[in-house]
Amino acid sequence: EQVPFLLVPKATDAAGKVVERAATYVADFSYVENGQRVIEDCKGMRTGIYILKRKLMLMIHNIRIKET
């Protein structure tokens, strides 16, 4: 199941207009293994954006992504 994780919320101005969209990470797979939640990503190539999102997932959600 592909599960989205919020990394950076949307930003709005004083009038409520969205000035920056939210940034999310969408996991390829999310499942429970041996009682632990596993977030898995199938990567052919680690892009700069992916590496940044991987770091944010660890910092914000304390989730280490399993790469396969």
The whole-model pTM stands at 0.88
pLDDT < 70 regions, the chain: none
Neighbour-count burial of 47, counting CB atoms closer than 10 A to its CB (0-12 exposed, 13-18 middle, 19+ buried): exposed
Residues 56, 6: Cα–Cα separation, whole Å = 10
pLDDT digits (tens, 9 = 90+) for 9-24: 999 999 999 999 999 9
